[in-house]
Amino acid sequence: MATILIRQLADSTKQKLQRRAARNGHSMEQEAREILNTALSQPDEQPKDLGQAIRRRFAKYGGVDLKIPPREPMPEPRIR
């Protein structure tokens, strides 16, 4: 079994952990283990399609329609 030390934990977070542990009849250490095990037992989220994520974000505003300018041929280089 591994051991970790968590530094610079906010006082309010420690107090919440103490209260939650007391409610569940656990030590703070056991409660922290339970929280970590629960959080990390969830399957990793698959990478999202950025385009779909943007569409979903703006869908409630009616979407965003952008005017796409026509493509032009690439200009010849000016420096030779």
pLDDT of 2-44, one tens digit each?
A: 899 999 999 999 999 999 999 999 999 999 999 999 999 988 7
Task: Provide the percentage of residues in the chain whose pLDDT is more than 90.
Answer: 52
SS3 23: helix
Which residues 6+ apart lie within 8 Å of 64 measured at CB?
58
CA dihedral over 22, 28, 33, 38, signed as positive or negative:
positive
pLDDT of residue 58: 83
d(CA 24, CA 18) in angstroms, rounded, equals: 10
What are the domain boundaries of the chain?
Answer: 11-40
